[in-house]
Structure 1
Amino acid sequence: MSQSPLVGIIMGSDSDLPTMQGAIAVCEEFEVSFEVAIVSAHRTPERMVDYAKTARDRGIKVIIAGAGGAAHLPGMVASLTPLPVIGVPVATRNLGGVDSLYSIVQMPAGIPVATVAIGNAKNAGLLAIQILGTSDPQLCDRVRQYRQSLQEMVLEKQAKLDEVGYKNYEL
């Protein structure tokens, strides 16, 4: 991994860390440098502004922002930086993360935030890797290899299903 982080993985609270582990794992798997930080849009707004405004100068290329409930972090960060921001809606106790999803996906025109499924930080990590791959041919090739491994996995499962039949298929 390079010294300067390429991906910023931020979250509104430490309680979001278990959800964000998926993005961390993907960055580690693809050997892409990253940083992890707690940056609350509501409790530390000045920190959020500073993080978003300095990310590009610090070498960050993509920001993944996880947030639950009101989920303002991804959108507010996107409004403060020219970098791509990927929002991860974090599941909540009361509404299961639908509130987070709606908050992140309903950005006004001109301030886009890419949004993944509720709790799916792994896909956010993969999207960040794909974005980085647009300017890194080796990383793009690794994404292709990863996708090929997914295809092979499905074909192996189909072969097993063909062999044992659906009644005897065990997950």
Structure 2
Amino acid sequence: MKIGVVVGSDSDLPVLERAFVVWDQYEVPYEVDIISAHRSPEFATEYAATAAERGISVIVAAAGLAAHLPGVIAANTVLPVIGLPIGGGPLKGADALYSIVQMPPGIPVATVGIDNATNAAYLALHILALGDERVRRLLVEYRSSLPEKIVAKNKELRERGLAGFIE
């Protein structure tokens, strides 16, 4: 099981760094490709059509502006596709979000928030966990640690006071 990552431009890669950190922590392999839905449509189609053969189980497709890449990938594979809208441009990523989330019936793209590579990473892990007990167990452990982190932050806030906490 491997995660495929496609970005519409190399300028999108810094946003994905948070996802790479998460996957590295979980020791889940991934491959990264730069593919433009508009400038290399045949490459996008071929990538999607052959992804399963390469051992990919889920694809994270990140794009900004018109953001057709996630939809083009989803149109050419039955693997789950997670769309990651990239912020920027005059609409600050809203155009990318709408382009990704508004897909026609039968060609779904799961979509996370603008620049939210962390949630894209975790959603991909949740999908992999359906068939990977190790990943599922690690996700359960992570989720069980979240309340402790909030309680610790709240304790720190109370001890330091608001002004001291936000410095």
- TM-score, normalised with respect to structure 1: 0.93
2:82 is the alignment partner of 1:107: no
Percent sequence identity is 50
The C-alpha deviation readout for 1:15-64, integer Å capped at 9, x for no partner, is: 11111112222111110010000011011111101100000111100000
Counterpart in 2 of 1:35?
31
2:35 is the alignment partner of 1:24: no
Cα deviation, residue 147, structure 1: 1.6
- TM-score, normalised with respect to structure 2: 0.95
Cα deviation, residue 137, structure 1: 1.4
Counterpart in 1 of 2:133?
137
Cα deviation, residue 165, structure 1: 3.0
Q: CA RMSD in A?
A: 1.2
Unmatched segments (≥5 aa) in structure 2: none
Structure 1 outlier segments of 4+, above 6 Å: none
Question: How far apart are the structure 1 equivalents of 2:29 and 2:165?
Answer: 40
Aligned residues: 167
**Worse-superposed segment, 22-31 or 70-79:** 22-31
> Which residue of 87, 90, 112 corresponds with 1:116?
112
Unmatched segments (≥5 aa) in structure 1: none
Q: Residue 84 of structure 2 contacts residue 112 of structure 2 at CA under 8 Å; is this kept in 1?
A: yes
**Worse-superposed segment, 31-40 or 15-24:** 15-24
Question: How far apart are the structure 1 equivalents of 2:53 and 2:150?
Answer: 42
| Larger helix percent | 2
Cα deviation, residue 93, structure 1: 2.3
